[in-house]
Amino acid sequence: GKHPACLTFGVPQVDWDRGALRLLSQSSTPIPSIEGDMAIMTPAGRQFGAMSASRLHQIGLLLLRYVDWKWMLNVQWMNKQPSPGRAYLPTTIEHFANVITHGLVDSDDSSSNVDAMAANPTPRTPWSFLVWVIPSTFASMELVQRAISWPQYFSALVYGAALILLFTVSTFFHSVFYCSSNRILKDILHRGDRAMIYVFIAASYFPWLTLQPLPVDAWATELWWLIWVLASLGILYQQIFHERFKCLETFFYLFMGIMPSLAFLSCTDDFSGLTELKIGGLLYVGGVIFFKSDGKLPFAHAIWHLFVAMAASVHYYAILNYLYPVPVQGLATK
């Protein structure tokens, strides 16, 4: 019977077989011989080596046979960079990548229908399984359950709400941008998506400034309210100058994300979680490179999503382990 690639793209089975054989026959790279290495192996080693070589050969044939190389060469992986003051318009496959890095759509919108959606981009509303929202909800609940004081409860609620809203707003924005033609709704969700970046930066610092003892010269009290002032000013600027002065907007993100961290870097090595905070911060800063690479690199925004997810996971791990440790009695019970 025909394999899925032939059924999906309508290519005859014989053409796939001939294409695979043609690519193999035209390959100028010699297949390395393993006879010399197998000669010095034990019988078990020779059997394992033969099985590995056979498996690699099968995988290579499957790649040549099942991957639609012609489609991959012809697909439009990215659009041109937008003009100043305009938002970047992702291609169909970039739209799908943006959605799938925050949510998985239903089978009617699966990747096998990318060509059909490009040919007939009718607005549709997918049922989205919120991949990052559900774990962030359970993660926030874990913080609340571990809280044993009012400052811990309050910090868990603030950080957890920001974490959930960050992924929720982003998922809905990219889903609507991918499936709907309602410009007003797109604009509202786009503004909300950008505003949540400021909120989440402030909320990420909030548990540390509330629960972690800092030196007197670390300006912890001032930073406690300053981060929310900066977040409010950033949101106000973003709403007024939406999609204008993008480099300045990115500078505000970086300034707000890096400036409060200087107070933590001045602490001694006794500061718990400092290593995780540094790693997460580097992931965020590294992801900004892809955040500003729309039109320069395919799937740039989807890669940015992955950096955000990794950085948020590292920071959550630090908050959970150092600010909300499991009590000794709880460990004994478990």
| Domain map (residue ranges) of the chain | 4-74, 129-333
pLDDT band at residue 290 under the 50/70/90 scheme: confident
Does the pTM exceed 0.95?
A: no
Please give the pLDDT value at position 201: 92
pLDDT band at residue 277 under the 50/70/90 scheme: confident
pLDDT band at residue 126 under the 50/70/90 scheme: very low
HEC-encoded secondary structure of the chain:
CCCHHHHHHCCCHHHHHHHHHHHHHHCCCCCCCCHHHHHCCCHHHHHHHHHHHHHHHHHHHHHHHHCCHHHHHHCCCCCCCCCCCCCCCCCHHHHHHHHHCCEECCHHHCHHHHHHHHHCCCCCCCCCEECCHHHHHHHHHHHHHHCCCHHHHHHHHHHHHHHHHHHHHHHHHHHHHHHCCCHHHHHHHHHHHHHHHHHHHHHHHHHHHHHCCCCHHHCHHHHHHHHHHHHHHHHHHHHHCCCCCHHHHHHHHHHHHHCCHHHHHCCCCCCCCHHHHHHHHHHHHHHHHHHCCCCCCCCHHHHHHHHHHHHHHHHHHHHHHHHCCCCHHHHHHC
CA–CA distance from 27 to each of 22, 59, 314 (Å)? 9, 16, 44
Range picked from 16-20, 187-191, 212-216, 258-262 for highest mean pLDDT: 187-191
pLDDT band at residue 123 under the 50/70/90 scheme: very low
Please give the pLDDT value at position 212: 78
HEC-encoded secondary structure of 26-76:
HCCCCCCCCHHHHHCCCHHHHHHHHHHHHHHHHHHHHHHHHCCHHHHHHCC
Q: Could you tell me the two tokens for 250?
A: 């990115």
Mean predicted confidence (pLDDT) in 131-144: 86
- Over the chain, what is the mean pLDDT? 71
Q: Could you tell me the two tokens for 256?
A: 């707000």
What CATH class has 129-333? mainly alpha
pLDDT band at residue 121 under the 50/70/90 scheme: very low
HSE on the CB side for 291, CA within 13 Å?
19
Question: Cβ atoms within 10 A of the Cβ of 69, count?
Answer: 11
**CB of 238 within 8 A of CB of 194?**
yes
Mean predicted confidence (pLDDT) in 30-45: 47
Distance CA 101, CA 315 (A): 19
Mean predicted confidence (pLDDT) in 258-265: 78
Q: Which residues are annotated as a binding site for Zn(2+)?
A: 174, 301, 305
Write out pLDDT tens, residues 64-92: 666 665 666 666 666 677 666 666 667 77
Write out pLDDT tens, residues 298-328: 878 888 888 888 999 999 999 999 999 876 5
Does the CA dihedral 99-101-106-107 come out positive or negative? positive
Question: Cβ atoms within 10 A of the Cβ of 13, count?
Answer: 14
Q: Which residues are annotated as a binding site?
A: 174, 301, 305
Mean predicted confidence (pLDDT) in 282-288: 89
Write out pLDDT tens, residues 185-239: 888 888 888 899 899 999 999 998 888 776 655 566 778 888 999 999 989 988 8
